[in-house]
Amino acid sequence: MIRAPRSLAISALAAASILAVDEPARADAPPPRTSSLAWVRLPGAEACVDMRQLAQAVELRLGRPAFVAPTRGDIAIEARIGPTQDADGWRATITVVDATGQLAGVRELQIDKQDCRSIDDELELVMALLIDPSAALAPPVIAREPLVSQAIVLAPPLPAPAAMVCPPLVPPPDPWRVGVEAGPIGSVGLLPGGVGAGVQLRAHVAPPRGPSFELGGSFWLDRTVHTTHADPAFSLAYGWLAVCPVDVEVRGSALSACVAAQLGSLGVSAPALPSVFHQEQLVFSLAAEARLRRRFAGPLFAGLGVGLAVPTVRDRFYFTDPAGARHDVFQAAPIAALLDLGLGLELP
């Protein structure tokens, strides 16, 4: 019978006893620490490492799966990366939160290189040490084999049920614009003496689509014509309605182009003449106008308008003196020019 030497037997017995003692110690050791990972690439950092690649690289260094669902991790790692303020490098901020939700630490990493993947190795090493400071870390490798971790394996999203599909949002329609204004008005050709002056009141209504509308009235100061026999005074007032096929509003300013019909009366009286010469004539004119409105304080706006009016009837005013001579006093011009200013209020 062949027997092993005594020294070899003693060595084997010692090794067996060491293994027997070491096995219970491993059974009593706490499980390795795990973590959840939240990784955000800020605007401009889309080419940086994504969360799946980063998690696989950290687990490769640790040599084991380390990332779990947020509700199961011993710690939570929340990290983000983005370009530096001067855009010449990259800054990563890593925040560690313990199981009780308390902030356990913050680390910042920064490199001054154009390629944001240059920071990958440092990111992987810091995160691996944060998860398990006592681990024997494997060196980084160029070709990384992915490790399977249930925490980062995402199931494809379930299709939304038909009942949850919302119709596309329809923007609300533009509101109606309604405004009123008042101000002075002047003309050339409507009254004797060339230039006439008065006041006007006007209102406008602009629907979301289609032409807008204006209506109002103009009241003119009396104009007196001095003659050798009498001083007749002319008074003019009319109302009008306009349609504005062009009405454009841009940044608080509105430009409109309108056509209008004016209807009113032109009266004349002369105290030195018989009452038969105190008369009033109907006036009806067609007009075209361009108008600009500009808001300057909330709903308040200022308006400026220029236009032309064409009388459809041009009555001639005259009187005959006791000797039978005829004296012409006034006849409206074939085309009259209008200019007005106004202050008003428009809603909304």
Q: Look at residue 104 and tell me whether its pLDDT is greater than 50.
A: yes
Q: Look at residue 185 and tell me whether its pLDDT is greater than 90.
A: yes
List all residues 6 or more positions away from 210 whose beta carbon is below 8 Å from its beta carbon: none
CATH 3.40.50.620 fits 33-131, yes or no: no
Q: Is the peptide bond before 348 cis (omega within 30 degrees of 0)?
A: yes
From the number of C-beta atoms within 10 Å of its C-beta (0-12, 13-18, 19+), residue 22 rates as exposed
Compute CA 135 distance to the chain's CA centroid, rounded to the nearest angstrom. 53
Mean pLDDT, the chain, rounded, equals 81
Residue whose C-alpha is closest to residue 326's, from 277, 283, 267: 277
Residues 303 and 344 sit within 8 Å (Cβ to Cβ): yes
One fold for 33-131 and 177-347 = no
Q: Look at residue 24 and tell me whether its pLDDT is greater than 90.
A: no
The per-residue pLDDT for 219 is 96
The DSSP bridge partners found for residue 224 are: 233
CATH 1.10.1060.10 fits 177-347, yes or no: no
Tell which wins on pLDDT, 261 or 31.
Answer: 261
The per-residue pLDDT for 133 is 82
Q: Look at residue 145 and tell me whether its pLDDT is greater than 70.
A: no
**Predicted confidence (pLDDT) per residue in 206-260, tens digit:** 998 889 999 999 999 999 888 777 788 899 999 999 999 999 888 889 999 999 9
Confidence of residue 169 (pLDDT cuts 50, 70, 90): low
Tell which wins on pLDDT, 315 or 16.
Answer: 315
Of the ranges 9-18, 35-44, 120-129, which one carries the lowest mean pLDDT score?
9-18
Own/partner pairs, 210-217, CB within 8 angstroms, 24+ separation: 211/243, 211/244, 211/245, 211/247, 212/177, 212/244, 212/247, 212/256, 213/241, 213/242, 213/243, 213/244, 214/240, 214/241, 214/242, 214/244, 214/256, 214/258, 214/260, 215/239, 215/240, 215/241, 215/242, 216/240
Mean pLDDT of 153-176: 62
Domain parsing of the chain, residue ranges: 33-131, 177-347
Tell which wins on pLDDT, 123 or 320.
Answer: 123
